[in-house]
Amino acid sequence: MGRIRASLESDVFPALGSRPMVSLKAREVMEAVKAVEARGASDQAGRLLQRVKAIYRWAVTHQRIDTNPILDLVPSEILKPRTVQHRAALADKELPEFMRKLAAYDGSPSIVLGLRMLMLTACRPGEVRGARWVEFDRKAALWTIPAERMKMREEHRVPLSKQALEVLDKIEAISGGRELVFPSPYYPSKPLSENTFNSALARMGYKSIATAHGFRALFSTVANEHRWNPDVIERQLAHREQNEIRAAYHRTTYIADRTKLMQWWADYLGNGGATPEQ
């Protein structure tokens, strides 16, 4: 609730907060929402409109006002379509050859094993590069990424497959006594640089064909094609749920399902794209 109130105090109250709800026009609410969009926060603008609409629905239900002037305001109709940046990603059919090239790649263990962890967890590159040993519970096979390291600023729990645990066993010989799991080979107290994974992919012959972030798209595509629950997939990817009630539910569930999914995915990768039993 604190986040919701903060968004209202920042983006609605200054312009409209002193006015009675009954006196506001749809145009005025729309202008407040579009002002948020204009500063580049299109997702936030959409959520803001939904929150204001929820307040108006509550007011009508509890007979504080007779009509809802913003009932017909729909985010998709008043806000510009979000521009999605598509990053180069491997196609499923390219996976067997890629796995062979990765196995033969003679780069730094931090880079090679970091790439493996990236693929095995479907995490964002920055989450893997910044991984700390204290975040891992190997007995529970769980990686807990703190909120401050997540794009959405929410703690994310990542189930670890047997193969991901093997990666940790291998990298421990190199970085086990340090803070970072995948340190820079040149500056061990610092994480791998932002472009490290993509540079390695380019040296493997995948420049403009694959990116580190694109492994998430590959995971999503393959898992969806094999009919895994889309909600489980989205939760594993730590995508933000726009519906706030569903978001609260998603934060507390799906660990068991995601554990099964990630072991299936690790086996799929290990088989070079051959389908293990689901």
Q: How far apart are CA 232 and CA 251, in angstroms?
A: 11
213 catalytically annotated: yes
> Which listed residue (34, 226, 249, 251) is catalytic?
249
Provide CB contacts within 8 A for 272, sequence distance 6+.
Answer: 95, 96, 99, 100
- Output the six-digit token pair for 115: 């790439």
> Which listed residue (157, 213, 226, 240) is catalytic?
213
> Which listed residue (47, 56, 116, 124) is catalytic?
124
> Which listed residue (156, 216, 235, 258) is catalytic?
216
Q: How far apart are CA 77 and CA 71, in angstroms?
A: 13
239 catalytically annotated: yes
39 catalytically annotated: no
Decide: helix, strand or coil at residue 124: coil
216 catalytically annotated: yes
86 catalytically annotated: no
Decide: helix, strand or coil at residue 203: helix
249 catalytically annotated: yes
> Which listed residue (34, 132, 138, 239) is catalytic?
239
- Strand-pairing partners, residue 156, are 145
> Which listed residue (57, 151, 153, 190) is catalytic?
151
CB 38 within 8 A of CB 25: no
Which residues are designated catalytic?
124, 151, 213, 216, 239, 249
